[in-house]
Structures are given as C-alpha cells and as structure tokens.
Structure 1
Amino acid sequence: MIGRLKGTLVHKQPPWLIVDVGGVGYELEAPMSTIYDLPELGREVVLFVHHAQKDDGVSLYGFLHESERRLFRDVQKVTGIGAKIALAILSGSSVADFARQVKDGDTAALSRIPGIGKKTADRIVLELRDKLDGLAGAAPGVTTAERSAPADALGEATVALQQLGYKTPEAARMARQAAADGDNAEAIIRKALRAALK
C-alpha cells in the first residue's frame, strides 16, 4: 500500500497529477482543494495517498492534508458514495465547511454537490455526524495559487468539471460563465464551483 509520496510535480491537469519519485511517475487523481494549493511544476511536493485496488487495476488519490484523505475515506463508507462523489465533495468545499454542514444537518447545502441527492444527503448526516470530530477546524480554506494562464484554460476547466460529475453541457456552461480574461483553469473551476454550490 502506498500511503505517502514525496517527489517532483511534473504534470498537472485537473483532476490528474503526475509526481516523479526517483524516476517513476505516479499518476494520481486529486480534488480541487489539493490542486489549488500545489506548487508550480518542477517543484517538490508531498502528498498523502489513498491506494484503491479495483477490478480493472489500481487507483491512487493524492491529498495535501491528512484531513482531506480522512474525509475522502470516511464519506465512502456511506452507502451510494464512491471515489468520484468523494472527490466532488472535496472539490466543492473545504473539509471544515463540509464537517460543519454535516454537524448542522444542512442537507440543502450537501444536496448541491454533484451526485448527492436529498436521500444521500440525509444518509451522510445520519452516518457521519458523529464521525467527523476534529475535522471542523482541521483543514485550511481553499486558496488559489497565482499562475500564468494555459492556452486552453476554458477547455481544461470544462474537462475537470466533467470529471467532478457535471454533464458536458452543464460543465461547459459553468466554465464559460465563470471565466474572465487572464483566468487559468484552476481559477475558472474554483469560481464555477463556488457559484454552483451557493
């Protein structure tokens, strides 16, 4: 089992990352909460890793903070929630915000996350309310690193939103509405998710 990786960040296209560790490139999927705070390409990064064995192979999920990995694992214990929805949760809100929503029984806010309906939101509150102790103040809020905009920031943002569970037309609309001149993909995604989860 891989629990932690320390290496050079060599590729980043939300939600995918590649970290070079001693000449071996590990491909990981990461929530936007982690991607927002990653260093620039070519810099060293340390990630907490969730190693998932599946029928068709192995999947690795990377997180900058242990609290993100813990929440990722905890929410998947709720019936009907898999890795995709767990990533959407972490991409749309901080660990602390999600923990507060669960503790407050705010099913309306939880239902705005892609893939979570009213019944699933009710199950999350019922099953996790007493298991998220210590997370309400555990993780920092989401911040966006300032970087130069890639050539196709809108396209990258649209693909990332699709990976988070939004249908293609909806993802394209969200990205278009959020984009402003000079925005990189991460900024567009962040603004689109904030607008969608209001």
Structure 2
Amino acid sequence: MIGRLRGIVIDKQAPEILLECNGVGYEVTLPMTSFYHLPALEQEAIIYTHFVVREDAQLLYGFANTTERKLFRLLIKVNGVGPKLGLAILSNMSASQFVHCVNLDDVATIVKIPGVGKKTAERLLIEMRDKLKDWGQEIATPVTDGIAIDTISTESSIVSVTNHKDDAINALISLGYKLNQADKAVKAVYTSDKTSEELIRDALKSML
C-alpha cells in the first residue's frame, strides 16, 4: 500500500498531477478541494494517498490531509459509491461541508453532484450519519503536510495551461459532468484573468 508521497510537482492537469519522488514519477488523481492547495510547479509537496488495484489498472488518489483521505475511504465503502464518485463528491465540497450536509440530511445539495441520484444520496446520508457523528473536532483543524491549505497557486497554471477555459471544462467532464453542463458552468464564471483552477472552483460552486 502506498500511503504517502513526498516529491516535486512536475505537471498539473486538473484533477491529475505528476509527482516525482526520487526519480520516479507518480500519476496521482486528487479531488479539486486538495488540488487547489498544491504548490507551484517544481515545488515540493507531500500528499496522502489511497492505492487502488484493478485488473486493468493501478490507481493512486491523493489528498491534502488525512481527514480528506479518511472520508474518501468511508465514502467508497457505501454501496454504489466507487473511487470516481468519491472523487466527485470531494471535488464539490470539503470534508466539513459534506459532514454538514449529512448532519442536516441535505439531500438536495448531494444530488447536485454528478453521478449521485436521489437513492444514492439518501443511502449516503443514512450510512454516513453514524460514521461521521464524532467528526466535529476532527475536521475543525485539518492537518496538512506539504500542501499549503490557505493559498491557491496561480503560477503553475499560467505556465502549463494555454487555454484555461478548455482546461476547466475538461476537468469538470473528468469529474462526471456532461459536456453541456461543464461548458455552461465555466462560461457563466469565466473572466480572462482567472486561472483554470479558479474557473473550476467557481464553476463547481455555481452548480451546488
């Protein structure tokens, strides 16, 4: 099991990064809530990972802190929720926001996430309620180790992305949104001074 990686961010193409650790490049997929807090290209990052082995692939999912990873692992244990849907959920809301939705039985917000129908949303709320009842203190002060939690790096986006709008649309599609949904959401929040990461963040907010 690969549980933690420390290395240099070589490439960022939301929601994936390439992290070089001692000469080996690891492709890691992150929820956008963690992706936003990555340092600039050529800077060091430490991410906590969840390793998935399938017959046709070996996949690494990365998180800014152990709290986000713990929630991801709880989510994918729910019937009908796989890693892709878990990634979509944590891309649309932080751990604290998800816990808040569970505490309020907020089905309406959960079903806005791509791939989450009403039955899945209700199942999530029911199954996660007991598992998250003691999470108030845990999510109050999430610990990060190598990813700045309060800053969004724009330098790397400017360097690696030539078309921020297309990059944002492609990222939303990879998270489960349909092309027309992604295109409409990005266009609604687009301004020429925004990076791709800012466009993705604002588009996701506008759809919840």
**1:180 partner amino acid:** T
Distance 2:172 2:150 in 1: 18
Counterpart selection for 1:169 from 166, 180, 188: 180
Given that residues 29 and 62 in structure 1 are in contact (C-alpha distance below 8 angstroms), is that contact kept between their aligned partners in structure 2?
yes
Q: How many residues align?
A: 196
Counterpart selection for 2:202 from 184, 188, 191: 191
Distance 2:203 2:94 in 1: 15
Q: TM-score, normalised by structure 2?
A: 0.90
- Report runs of 4+ in structure 1 exceeding 4 Å deviation: none
Distance 1:6 1:88 in 2: 24
Structure 2 unaligned segments of length 5 or more: list them. 144-148
Q: TM-score, normalised by structure 1?
A: 0.94
Structure 1 unaligned segments of length 5 or more: list them. none
Given that residues 36 and 143 in structure 1 are in contact (C-alpha distance below 8 angstroms), is that contact kept between their aligned partners in structure 2?
no
Find the residue that maps to 1:129 and give its secondary structure.
Answer: helix
Deviations 1:65-100 (A, max 9, x none): 111111111111111111111111111111001011
Distance 2:130 2:139 in 1: 12
Q: CA RMSD in A?
A: 1.5
Q: How does 1:1-198 map to 2 (within 5 A)?
A: 1-132=1-132, 133-134=134-135, 135-139=138-142, 145-148=152-155, 149=158, 150-197=161-208
Deviations 1:115-147 (A, max 9, x none): 11111111001101010222553548x855141
Given that residues 67 and 138 in structure 1 are in contact (C-alpha distance below 8 angstroms), is that contact kept between their aligned partners in structure 2?
no
Question: Percent same amino acid at aligned positions?
Answer: 39
Change (3 A) 1:174 1:121: same
Find the residue that maps to 1:78 and give its secondary structure.
Answer: coil
Change (3 A) 1:44 1:115: same
The aligned residue for residue 146 of structure 2 is none
Which has the higher relative contact order, 1 or 2, with Cα contacts under 8 A spaced 6 or more apart?
A: 2
Given that residues 38 and 153 in structure 2 are in contact (C-alpha distance below 8 angstroms), is that contact kept between their aligned partners in structure 1?
no
